[in-house]
Amino acid sequence: MSCPDASASHANTGLILPGGGARAAYQVGVLKAIASLHGKRHSNPFPILAGTSAGAINATSL
């Protein structure tokens, strides 16, 4: 069994946002923290986004 290249494992990092009212409210705070850590306003650091219900609505904000 071989070990995959560590640099390749970060090439397609995705963000998955589940649905649900309480989860969606929590996600807003987490997304704001990610944005502040990323340092760029209106910039999406994830090449892959997936979301259901309220999570999909939050994903559109990125």
* Model pLDDT for residues 6-57, shown as the tens digit of each residue: 555 556 889 999 998 888 889 988 888 888 887 766 667 888 899 999 999 9
Residue of 53, 52, 49, 54 lying closest to 62 (CA atoms): 49
Of residues 47 and 2, which shows the higher confidence score?
Answer: 47
1, amino acid identity: M
pLDDT of residue 18: 92
Q: For residues 27 and 6, what is the distance between their CA atoms, to the nearest angstrom?
A: 28
SS3 call for 5: coil
Question: Is 4 a residue whose pLDDT tops 90?
Answer: no
Total-model pTM: 0.66
Question: Is 3 a residue whose pLDDT tops 90?
Answer: no
